[in-house]
Structure 1
Amino acid sequence: MGRSLKDWGKAIGRSRAVVVSLGVLLASYLRFVHATSRILYRSPAIDSEIAADRPVITALWHGQHFMVPLIKPKGQPFAVLMAAHADAEMNAIAIERLGLQTIRASGAQKPSEIRRKKGMVGFLQMLKALKNGTSIAMTADVPKGPAKKAGRGIVMLARHSGRPIMPLAYASSRRWNVNSWDSASFNLPFSRAAVVTSDLIYVPPETTDEEIDAYCARLTESLNEATRKAYAIVDRTE
């Protein structure tokens, strides 16, 4: 039997040429958003705390990560943790077009999913990057898990690497709020924008597994507070 229209659509969508073209378009769009937006506030910590000899683990909520490649300190190496599955390929291409490295792996809620999503491989790659002076940008909440709740992976990375977590939120006044599990916001051009950070979170190497959950709760609170402040600035509610 011949392919259905739906099957043809999927085949085209998975074509390497199409995916690359969409990734390039996404990178161009993000540059346009950045160029036409007015930054009302940018946390000084972004430039003062991040350096090649002081890499950090930048933590964001899902849905606030689109503009990260355009707000990092100039000249500082960054790698972004991206999902390993094919659906994330377009985003990975856009990130690389914007001058950042990508590490392809995903977090997981169940131990049985860690190997399939290359979680351990990605963890080791991030440790190596941090050791070599490259900062990491990653979302704190695990895909398909509880939205706006920090998972254990990012805290474990801070414990094993000795590098601090920088909670960060990006908000824009003009945005398209997506009805998805992560309540993503797609930033729009000609916006007021704000980039807010909270205090660095250090996780001592002697932290026990039982204490990890307390750091997850602290990171969740810090990210929520940074997000609240960022939206208050761009929406002028304070």
Structure 2
Amino acid sequence: MGLVKNIVRSRPVQEALGFLVAGYLGLVRRTNRFVIEPADAYDRIGPQMPVIAAMWHGQHFMIHYAKRPQDRAASLVSRSGDGEFNAVALRHLGVRAIRGSGARGRDIRKKGGARALRGLLRALTDGEMVVMTADIPKISRICGTGIVTLAQLSGRPIVPVAVVTSRRIDFKSWDSASIGLPFGRGAMVLGDPISVPREADAEHLETMRQQVERALDTVHERAYALIGSRDPGANTVRSNVANGTGNRATAGGATR
């Protein structure tokens, strides 16, 4: 089993997997009829670029659909083995990977969180939009402080984004991940930009964190409604709150 794992995680195999994933996602994008809400979203958000595009982790497969061809973009991707082929796929889709993740209960230096934050700040300063998940690592649909801290330090607004398709595979994973299937309908919903004041104290940051969390729930609920479906991750929110994890907002996440 160890040999198979090593082969799968070898550079040539990771490159091939990433290329195939990118090709498939491109097919899904081309064969689904997408509606964008609000219709003038890019006209309103364009002058505020570069922005921080926020998503729930389960949407990480398709979030790049919301990027316009002319937008330079970077995405936070974990250092895990799974993250490697995701980074390759993103490269083929025109998104630069910044490696690292939050460190809930772990050494932030080992996970690359501090270095990743610096990389994200440089990307925004250089005019690249940043795409990142808002969830606490392994705790779905609970927004961490990482994304609001990035907004505070960079001065760039957070834009909540949801990208969904009517035909899809919903995984029974911790993040209720979904991946679209070809030949269906799709919806992209962009929320109002959320700015975090540089002088915000801890209490204010918590208020902003909750605002981002609510905004992400709202855009996902609306996106699924537009395709006549229901958010498969909605139960995850209630489960997290019932289990008492709703107050454990300590860090931002990364695409695996």
Q: Same fold by TM (over 0.5)?
A: yes
Contact 2:163–2:186 (CA<8 Å) still a contact in 1? Answer: yes
Task: Please give the secondary structure, in 1, of the residue aligned with 2:160.
Answer: strand
Give the alignment's TM-score, normalised by structure 2: 0.85
Find the aligned partners of 2:23 and 2:185 in 1 and give their Cα distance. Answer: 19
Q: Is the 8 A contact 1:79 1:101 kept in 2?
A: yes
1:57 aligns with 2:52: yes
Asked if 1:173 is matched to 2:162, the reply is no
**In structure 1, which of residues 185, 197, 220 is the aligned counterpart of residue 190 of structure 2?**
197
**Secondary structure of 2:150's aligned partner:** helix
- Write out per-residue CA displacement over residues 47-77 of structure 1, whole angstroms, 9 at most, x where no aligned residue: 54135x7310000001112122233122111
Q: Which residue of 2 aligns with 1:122?
A: 116
Question: For 1:162-197, what per-residue CA distance to the aligned partner results, in whole angstroms no more than 9, with x for missing partners?
Answer: 000000111110111111111111111112100001
Kindly, what percent of the aligned residue pairs are identical?
Answer: 41
Give the Cα separation in 2 of the matches to 1:220 and 1:202. 14
- Of 128, 131, 138, the match for 1:144: 138
CA displacement at 1:82 relative to structure 2: 0.6
CA distance in 2, matches of 1:39, 1:28: 18
CA contact (8 A) 1:61 1:141 kept: yes
Write the letter of the residue equivalent to 1:65: H
Task: Select 2:17's aligned residue among 11, 19, 22.
Answer: 22
Are the equivalent residues in 1 in contact too, given 2:65–2:163 (CA < 8 A)? no
Decide whether the 8 Å contact of 1:47 with 1:73 is kept in 2: no
**In structure 2, distance between residues paired with 1:102 and 1:218:** 27
SS at match of 1:59: strand
Q: Is the 8 A contact 1:164 1:203 kept in 2?
A: yes
CA-to-aligned-CA distance 1:71-127 (integer Å, 9 cap, x gap) = 3122111101111222210110000011111111111223x4311110010001111
Structure 2 partner of 1:3: none
The worse-fitting range, judged by mean Cα deviation, of 17-26 and 112-121 is 112-121
In structure 2, runs of 5+ residues without a counterpart are: 231-256
Give the SS at the match of 2:58. Answer: coil
User: Once superposed, what is the RMSD of the aligned Cα atoms?
Assistant: 1.5
What secondary structure, in the 3-state scheme, does the structure 1 residue paired with 2:34 have? strand
Q: Report how far residue 46 of structure 1 moved.
A: 3.4
- CA distance in structure 2 between the partners assigned to 1:17 and 1:236 by the alignment: 39
Q: Give the aligned partner of residue 100 of structure 2.
A: 105
Greater Cα radius of gyration, structure 1 or 2? 1
Shift of residue 42, structure 1, vs aligned partner: 4.4
Paired position in structure 1 for 2:41: 45
Q: Give the drift of 1:210.
A: 2.5
**Which segments of 5 or more consecutive residues in structure 1 lack a partner in the other structure?**
1-5
Structure 1 stretch 151-160 or stretch 13-22: which is displaced more?
13-22
Q: TM-score, normalised by structure 1?
A: 0.91
State the match for 1:227 in structure 2.
220
Bigger shift: 68-77 or 217-226?
Answer: 68-77
One-letter code aligned to 1:115: R
Does 1:36 pair with 2:34? no
The residue type paired with residue 50 of structure 1 is G
